[in-house]
């Protein structure tokens, strides 16, 4: 069993009343010993509630919480308090240190709750931790004499005083300047890598996601997805890469410069921007801005194809884009071709494929290749088509990247390629990459 296991945990306040609030909905996760995990999402999405459930500070309305094979729900208040003291250390955004106590005494306090009576041993342990976090010289001062970054280090040392194996950090750098934040993040990284502590951190800042082995993305009280950090050595042998992670990798390679967090947070406007830039000849700033806006609405299904067509040639002063009629018609046709092929890749075609005696993925590959041939090539022989289908299949499953596809399409047939004209290859690859981008997260609402 994992070190931490949450099974379908929900936290509901005022259940059944008019003001019912669902803070956490059916959260399930497993965290292994010595992992560094980040719970990521916007304010109010349930991150801190989930952290409190893991800490035992909040009992779920439904579901179960196991820490080191122990069911927290079976513990009484005294057992839970002791369990929390010896198993879990907490670091808070607001520091939560006592202003009237010295720095050293703030750190010693959790030891006293455990009944540790050897004052000398407590002091030595506190000083050892103060040295570890780099503020030993501040030991006899009161917290108000220290900077925000130094006060947060007090919180970290206090979370370690009872040698808890699990450290929970709730927005630990949210109140710090960038330099102090990096110092604190460095300390947390060291606690995980050198001291083998299990770190679970909550943040809304994508800048820190690369520190984690895994990231759980939350929205509206739910865990939407889990992403393994491929830079981390921790999971290379333990975890298989999921199809969704492959898809992120494919997108980031095709459109370099965007992190996974940016793809999540900025996906719709980014899709719209790429699609608009792909389909347009140069327009002025206002026209491009409106094109991006309306592409976003079309991708989300807020516009149907007829409304998009109508708004493209509506004058700027009347809220349109201001394209001439012929350009608007061609533009809308190109948009719909991309969207339809993106939807095709998401659609369930298993029954159709079965009737045709094909695997579902093979049918999708054939349909996409047919679209590419009709749009750009007009004719290829059967051997070229077969090789093209093989390459597109590998691209869809992320077995090859964009540049490998481009090279193979351009390579002469006798050398193992498809033997297409270089100018056509550029258009084909560009079209396929845009389809793959728009396909990510598109739904049937886009009609």
Q: Where are the beta strands (DSSP E) in 127-242?
A: 166-170, 198-203, 214-219, 222-228
Task: Quote the domain boundaries for residue 393.
Answer: 246-447
Per-residue pLDDT band for 119 (boundaries 50, 70, 90) equals confident
The tens digit of pLDDT for each residue in 407-429 reads 999 999 999 999 998 889 999 99
Per-residue pLDDT, averaged over 169-184, amounts to 85
One domain for residues 131 and 253: no
- Choosing from 202, 222, 240, the residue where a domain stops is 240
The gap between the terminal CA atoms of the chain, to the nearest Å, is 45
One domain for residues 215 and 343: no
One domain for residues 214 and 127: yes
| Structural domains counted in the chain | 2
One domain for residues 307 and 195: no
One domain for residues 219 and 273: no
- Choosing from 188, 212, 240, the residue where a domain stops is 240
Per-residue pLDDT band for 238 (boundaries 50, 70, 90) equals very low
Torsion of CA 162, 163, 166, 167, to 10 degrees: 70
Instruction: Report helix, strand or coil for 42.
Output: coil
DSSP category for residue 195: S
β-strands 36-40, 70-71: how paired? unpaired
Indicate whether 245 pLDDT > 60.
Answer: no
- In the block, tokens 């997805």 appear at 225
The tens digit of pLDDT for each residue in 371-389 reads 999 988 878 899 999 999 9
* 272 CB-contact burial (10 Å; exposed 0-12 / middle 13-18 / buried 19+): buried
One domain for residues 255 and 179: no
Per-residue pLDDT, averaged over 324-336, amounts to 84
One domain for residues 278 and 226: no
Scanning 347-447, the segments in alpha helix (DSSP H) are 350-356, 360-372, 382-396, 402-410, 422-439
pLDDT at 280: 52
pLDDT at 141: 92
**What angle in degrees, to the nearest 10, is found between the helix axes of 325-346 and 267-279?**
130
- Enumerate residues 6+ apart whose C-beta is below 8 A from 194: none
One domain for residues 148 and 42: yes
Q: Please say whether the beta carbons of 160 and 107 come within 8 A.
A: no
- In the block, tokens 């439904």 appear at 62
One domain for residues 219 and 350: no
Indicate whether 304 pLDDT > 50.
Answer: yes
One domain for residues 253 and 374: yes
Instruction: Report helix, strand or coil for 153.
Output: helix
Q: What is the CATH number of the domain that holds 9?
A: 3.40.50.300
One domain for residues 234 and 323: no
One domain for residues 51 and 15: yes
> What whole-number distance in Å separates Cα of residue 269 and Cα of residue 276?
10
Tell me which of 83 and 287 has the higher pLDDT. Answer: 83
**What angle in degrees, to the nearest 10, is found between the helix axes of 422-439 and 382-396?**
40
Rounded mean pLDDT of the chain? 83
Neighbours of 90 (CB within 10 A): 21
Backbone phi, psi, residue 396, to 5°: -65, -30
* 282 CB-contact burial (10 Å; exposed 0-12 / middle 13-18 / buried 19+): exposed
- Choosing from 240, 274, 307, the residue where a domain stops is 240
Total number of residues shown for the chain: 447
């Amino acid at each position: 069993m994992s070190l931490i296991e949450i099974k379908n945990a929900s936290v509901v306040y005022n259940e059944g009343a008019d003001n019912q609030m669902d803070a956490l909905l059916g959260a399930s996760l497993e965290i292994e010993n010595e992992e560094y995990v980040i719970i990521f999402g916007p304010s109010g999405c349930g991150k801190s509630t989930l952290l409190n459930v893991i800490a035992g500070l909040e009992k779920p309305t439904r579901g179960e919480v196991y820490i080191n094979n122990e069911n927290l729900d079976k513990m009484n208040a005294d057992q839970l308090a002791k369990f929390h003291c010896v198993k879990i250390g907490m670091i808070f955004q607001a520091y939560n240190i006592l202003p009237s106590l010295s720095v050293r005494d703030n750190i010693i306090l959790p030891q006293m709750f455990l009944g540790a009576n050897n004052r000398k041993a407590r002091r030595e342990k506190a000083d050892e931790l103060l040295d570890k976090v780099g503020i030993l010289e501040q030991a006899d001062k009161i917290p108000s004499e220290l900077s925000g970054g130094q006060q947060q280090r007090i919180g970290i040392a206090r979370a370690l005083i009872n040698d808890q194996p699990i450290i929970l950090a709730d927005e630990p750098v949210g109140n710090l300047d960038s330099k102090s934040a990096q110092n604190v993040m460095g300390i947390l990284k060291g606690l995980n890598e050198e001291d083998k502590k299990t770190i679970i951190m909550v943040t809304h800042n994508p800048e820190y996601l690369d520190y984690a082995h895994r990231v759980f993305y939350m929205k509206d009280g739910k865990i939407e997805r889990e992403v393994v950090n491929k830079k981390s050595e921790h999971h290379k042998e333990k975890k298989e890469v999921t199809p969704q992670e492959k898809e992120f990798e494919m997108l980031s390679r095709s459109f370099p410069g965007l992190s996974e967090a940016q793809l999540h947070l900025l996906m719709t406007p980014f899709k719209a921007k790429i699609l608009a830039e792909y389909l347009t000849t140069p327009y002025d700033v206002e026209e491009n801005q409106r094109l991006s806006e309306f592409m976003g609405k079309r991708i989300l299904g807020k516009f149907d194809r007829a409304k998009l067509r109508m708004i493209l040639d509506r004058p700027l002063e009347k809220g349109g884009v201001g394209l001439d009629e012929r350009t608007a018609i061609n533009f809308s046709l190109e948009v719909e071709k991309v969207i339809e092929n993106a939807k095709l890749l998401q659609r369930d075609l298993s029954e159709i494929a079965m009737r045709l005696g094909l695997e579902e993925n093979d049918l999708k590959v054939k349909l996409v290749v047919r679209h590419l041939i009709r749009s750009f090539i007009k004719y290829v022989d059967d051997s070229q088509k077969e090789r093209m289908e093989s390459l597109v299949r590998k691209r869809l499953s992320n077995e090859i990247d964009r540049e490998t596809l481009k090279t193979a399409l351009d390579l002469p047939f006798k050398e193992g390629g498809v033997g297409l004209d270089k100018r056509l290859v550029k258009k084909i690859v560009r079209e396929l990459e845009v389809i793959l981008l728009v396909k990510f997260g598109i739904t049937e609402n886009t009609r």
